[in-house]
Chains A and B, each alone.
Chain A
Amino acid sequence: MDFRKSMSIKIETALPADEMVTSKNVDLSNCDREQVQYPGAIQPHGFMLVTKIPGYSILQASSNTAAFLGVKASDLLGCNLSAVLSEEQVVSIDGRLKRENFEGAPLHVASATLEGNNFDVQAHRMGESLLLEFELRTVDQAFAASSSNLDDKYALFQRIHQAISRMSHSTDLQSFLDAATEEAFYLTGYERVLVYRFLEDGSGWVCSERLSPGLEPFLGLHYPPSDIPLPARRLFSLTWVRHQPDISYTPVRMVPELNPLTGQALDMSYALLRSVSVMYVDYLKNMGTQSSLVMTLMKEGRLWGMIACHHSSSVKHVPYEIRAACEILAHMVSLCMASKESEEQAEFKLSLRDKRSEFVRKVAGQADFAAALEEFAPDLLGLVRADGAAAVVNGKILTVGITPTAHEIQCIVAWLCAQPKQSVFSTAHLSSHMPEANEFASAAAGLTALCFNNPQKDFFLWFRPEILQTVNWAGDPNKPVDITDNGQRLTPRKSFALWKETVRWKSDPWLDVEVDAVKDLRSSLLELVLRKAEELGRLYDDLRSSYSELDAFAYAAAHDLKEPLRGIHAYAEMILDEDLEKLDNSSKAKVESIRRLAARMDQLINSLLSYSRIGLEFLIHEELDLNVVLADALDSLSVLLKQYPAKVQIMPHMPTLYGDRQRVLEVFTNLISNAIKYNDKPIKIVDVGFRASEQAEGVIFFVRDNGIGIAERHREDIFRIFHRLHGREQYGGGNGAGLTIVKKILELHGGRIWIESVCREGTSFLFSFGNNTNRSS
């Protein structure tokens, strides 16, 4: 696998020289633009030759060649590479160059012994130039001590194998990173190894650390973006491993300074020996570091962080083999980290999903959706990580955990309703959207809202309290600079003492998976509501058809009863009419009873017929002037009124009503006739009128009498069919169906009826026609 390729990133062309920020003029104000890839110099733990491709004549050399080769750099220019390396090595390099191209990170192409020193030779190309880096080979003391001998390649393989197997056994991201830190610590022998993770804004923090005893930990510290400026972050993403054995080095200039082929400074983006930015050197020095090795961690093609190794007690050279092992380690960590992170997220997502389906299942199990939401509102808290939750259903607010007050929740809902339509709204900083939210930030600095029925203003809300987010900065991020004694250059701050910054009005941020979970909950609920509505519709249809079946049955039964009854009655009458003289008195009385009973049964059947007919026949709704309807009612009661004189007083300006004329007339006629009949006062008074109601129905009607009254215990009974409180011949007779019919008519209009009564003083029947009534002048 050629993982070098995966890091190749296009390098921007150099800016014109006068605009260029280089090591000569860099300070903190412009370090974001420093052309760190053009330092024009290298670190001194090796030398560099730049040759032309093809031909390998030397174009540039580092000015320290004399120290290693005994030949001055200027004397090497124009010579062939074979002046330094053997003929076979040059041929071998040429062969590989043709096959492997050599672009990107350097490849180990040869080992050479020159003037008694061992060198690792690594090569890569930049355009038509071949950069050959001769790195002085050292024996790594730490590693040599721990594993017999660096030449024993198997020891290194084992080391890497162990590292990988250990990391792959870690269960979560943190322990995985801790394992990686630990392995890098043993592999490099550095005193401090830490994992530094970049945040969205370019700042970063130390999320894992392994230290030699006695050092001050950096774990948990945050660093401002200026500490690792953009160009440095970009270079980090080009190579897996960068090594500065000695921070306090003196840069070695290239001779000549400009590449003869390009006429520009040499692009050292990939060079191992590249001299690093003075800003970076100052920064490391301020931290007390003498030697550093940095491994890059990538996730999905983007710089995620790095494993930084710092050594403060001495200069430290890490040999090529160890760095190659570090490269494998960094690459492994990068590959596994992505999957560890997604694994963790997937697990969390799964747990959210389980809770969500449990919740939906419970709600679905209840017949009444709103009631189910009330019952299971406490479960809302488990659906996403939150400290409080509220369900706002039908204007009712149910809360669980730490929430704002009901009034504040109403304000939030009102604010949400005023926003552009959005099914799920989520913020970790509510007061940045809704300034008044500052007042209840202790309960709801962060809000995730789910609207599942906008016209009804039904919401689920989850709250997170303000966490006075404490960021432990390594020094004050607002003053990341110290001015050097001569005041000429701003340098990265010397103080790395802990500096706490408090972030106000904010909550722990909501994760994407949590917001997604809420969105999924919404679609599940909507589906549920739809299904419920369908069920309800079906149930209603069933109920209606069984009601009308019942009415149809009652009607047919009653109808069929009438015929034989008519026969019984007729024969009894015929006997009384024609055979009277043949009967004795006792028989005559019995036949008379048959006739009377048949007549009464006929009345009952008629009542049953008219009651069942109400349910069978459609109501014909029309605008009714109750003043007219009541006049008609009095008209039809005129016979009764002659028999039982009474004072019927109808309130002027009765409202209009939307209803079935015949049925509404029946209601008033029935109630008024009851009021007249069940009355033993010398002056019978019946008042008919209306008053406003606080309920949605708007208007309540009444028929009030000064009659015999109805005892409390009978107030439900009187609406039952054929139920009579008095003897059948008492109070003008009646068959006990009238009030049942009245009640049914009112219910069919969406209204209701009830009683207020005082025994022996009178009764008020109060009733409404639902919201079918209009007040009119």
Chain B
Amino acid sequence: MLQPEKTVLIVEDSDTDYEIVCWAFRKMPNAPRLLRFSNGELALAYLDGLTSNQAQGPIDYPSLVLIDLNLPGIAGVQVLRQIRNSPGTSSLPIVIFSSSSREGDIEQCYRSGANSYVIKPLKLDDMLQTMEIIVSYWLHCVALPKTTHPRSAKLSS
């Protein structure tokens, strides 16, 4: 049975980094769909629209959110917090995807509710491997609550 295509929402301002992620996704079999926002405001507005607008098709609900820390406008940590604090999206799995290896950053993200923190690798091979692990883990391996789905969160509340 063909699995319905899943969506990974990515908040990434760097075109280069986005292209690298795209490259990795292209290499993946059964790669999920990537939905990119180049800043936090747009991403939050999109998620907010999902929970308030029932007309959206199921394909538009992200199963996983990847957030770069260093963003123009609202910082990545702030985007993470708002997603966590908003009832409609509070149980979305969020992976922080950053080039910072600073302990302070890592700790702050986990405190703010990140599910994982991944340091962007330099080599393409490493990037591919990392992406495969993330996708297979969060999209295929683990069971997630129904409320993860923005609409069901909306309906149940």
Contacts and interface: CB of A to CB of B under 8 A. Distances in A.
A joins B in a complex? yes
B16 A613 contact: no
A200 to B, nearest CB: 76
Contacts of A574: 23, 124
Interface string A547-565: 0000000010001001111
A570 B20 contact: yes
Interface of B: 14, 16-17, 19-20, 23, 70, 99-104, 120, 122-125, 127
A573 B27 CA distance: 14
A574 B16 CA distance: 12
B117 to A, nearest CB: 16
A573 B124 contact: yes
A570 B23 contact: yes
Interface in A559-588: 559, 562-567, 569-571, 573-574, 577
Q: Which of B70, B122, B124, B127 has the most chain A CB atoms inside 10 A of its CB?
A: B122
11 contacts: A559-B100, A564-B16, A566-B16, A566-B120, A566-B122, A567-B14, A567-B16, A570-B127, A574-B23, A602-B122, A617-B104
Nearest to A569: B122
B124 A617 contact: no
Contacts of A599: 122-123
B54 to A, nearest CB: 39
A609 interface: yes
Contacts of A564: 16
A569 B16 contact: no
B77 to A, nearest CB: 15
A566 B23 CA distance: 14
A579 B19 CA distance: 16
Interface of A: 555, 559, 562-567, 569-571, 573-574, 577, 598-599, 602, 606, 609, 613, 617
A238 B19 CA distance: 115
B20 A566 contact: yes
Contacts of B99: 559, 562-563, 566
Given A570-B127, A609-B101, A617-B104, A563 B16 contact: yes
Contact of A567 (B20, B70, B125): B20
Contacts of A563: 14, 16-17, 99
Contacts of B123: 569, 573, 599
A566 to B, nearest CB: 6
Which 3 pairs of residues, A with B, have the shortest CB-CB distance?
Answer: A567-B16, A573-B124, A570-B20
A697 to B, nearest CB: 29
B51 to A, nearest CB: 32
Contacts of A617: 103-104
Contacts of B19: 570
Contacts of A598: 122
A129 B16 CA distance: 126
A389 B127 CA distance: 77
Contacts of B102: 555, 609, 613
A598 B16 CA distance: 15
Contact of B17 (A566, A577, A606): A566
Contacts of A606: 101
A577 B127 CA distance: 14
Nearest to A577: B124
A599 B122 CA distance: 8
Nearest to B15: A567
A569 B99 CA distance: 14
A602 B103 CA distance: 19
Contacts of A567: 14, 16-17, 20
A559 B127 CA distance: 18
Contacts of B16: 563-564, 566-567, 570-571
A577 B23 CA distance: 11
A257 to B, nearest CB: 111
Contacts of B127: 570
Nearest to B27: A577
Contacts of A559: 70, 99-100
Q: Which of A570, A574, A599, A606 has the most chain B CB atoms inside 10 A of its CB?
A: A570
A609 B99 CA distance: 12
A640 to B, nearest CB: 21
